[in-house]
Amino acid sequence: MIYLYGKEFKRGVTVSDATIYDVAPTVLRVCGFPPALDDAMKSRFYRMLLESDEDTCPLVEGVAIRSYSKERHHEAICSVYGRSFSEPPWQSDWDRFEQFDPDGVFVAEESKGKTPVGYVISFRRPGYGYVSVVAVLPEYRRRGIAFTLVRTAIRYLRQLGVRTIMVDAPADSPPAVHLYEKVGFRVVGTYEDEQVRHGA
Ligand SMILES: CC(C)(COP(=O)(O)OP(=O)(O)OC[C@H]1O[C@@H](n2cnc3c(N)ncnc32)[C@H](O)[C@@H]1OP(=O)(O)O)[C@@H](O)C(=O)NCCC(=O)NCCS
């Protein structure tokens, strides 16, 4: 069994080529799973579109938002992921997916020790921008860090000229769904609905 974004997967699960999160293929491959996702998993995620867009990235006291540096942040992100989702840390090749854009990754560092306490991953896909994952260590939550990280990613995607921005939020995670709603995203369906609508 492996864990991916808070969900458990057993070996032998049937999956399709469409993926909810673009890092999923890497994680599944590393763990020896077939390269696909099952329909049940798709409906567990809300597809959310950014509707209202204020260009604000409020400062959080004691925390600095930094651009991603592979040297400084690559391994730290694996462990922040593990602690944030209460799962085994990511494999160190988490960044080896086709759309990965290091410039679309931002890290929240505790200002004094420069320890990474959260991060967001975003990238451009054909026709839209995607916020793939945001995570903050439990002891640093409810201080606005994730809000600022996601807003920073949106600002980056806007600078690339992206107009449509999406996320897929775990439907059973009120913190995730509320966070994205606070940022300005609205639920437009499940991931599966969206695939049907776009004929993917
Ligand atoms: C979701 C997560 C990233 C939020 O991080 P955070 O830094 O605590 O979030 P913020 O402090 O920026 O909160 C912004 C808003 O999100 C919502 N929110 C955050 N945590 C919440 C919670 N536990 N319950 C309900 N709403 C919550 C609130 O609307 C909050 O605004 P408010 O504080 O004014 O009410 C964090 O809980 C986490 O890392 N969870 C595990 C990973 C995860 O689920 N990631 C999202 C899916 S990829």
Q: Please report the pLDDT score of residue 9 as a whole number.
A: 55
150 CB within 6 A, ligand 1: no
Q: Please report the pLDDT score of residue 41 as a whole number.
A: 55
Which ligand 1 atom is the nearest neighbour of the CA of 182?
Answer: 29
Residue at 71: amino acid letter? E
Q: Please report the pLDDT score of residue 158 as a whole number.
A: 95
Output the CA 161–ligand 1 centroid distance in Å.
27
Residue nearest ligand 1's atom 35 by CA: 142
b (16+ CB within 10 A) / e for 131-142: bbbbbbbeebee
43 CB within 6 A, ligand 1: no
Residue 17 — φ and ψ, nearest 5°? Answer: -70, -25
Residue closest to 192 by CA, chosen among 39, 49, 4? 39
Residue nearest ligand 1's atom 8 by CA: 141
* Per-run averaged pLDDT (10 residues), the chain, 200 residues: 52 40 49 49 77 85 95 94 86 86 97 93 92 95 96 96 92 92 90 49
In total, how many domains does the chain have?
A: 1
Residue at 12: amino acid letter? G
First to last CA, the chain: 28
- Residue of 61, 145, 178, 187 with the most ligand 1 atoms within 8 Å of its CB, for mutation: 178
CATH (domain of 66) = 3.40.630.30
**CA angle at residue 96 from 181 to 103, to 5 degrees?**
55
Range of 179's domain? 2-197
Q: Please report the pLDDT score of residue 109 as a whole number.
A: 97
Q: Please report the pLDDT score of residue 197 as a whole number.
A: 47
147 CB within 6 A, ligand 1: yes
Which ligand 1 atom is the nearest neighbour of the CA of 169?
Answer: 47
Strand ranges for the chain from DSSP E:
2-4, 7-9, 45-50, 63-67, 105-110, 115-125, 128-136, 165-170, 185-190
Cα(168)–Cα(155) distance, rounded to whole angstroms? 18
Q: Please report the pLDDT score of residue 59 as a whole number.
A: 87
pTM of the model: 0.83
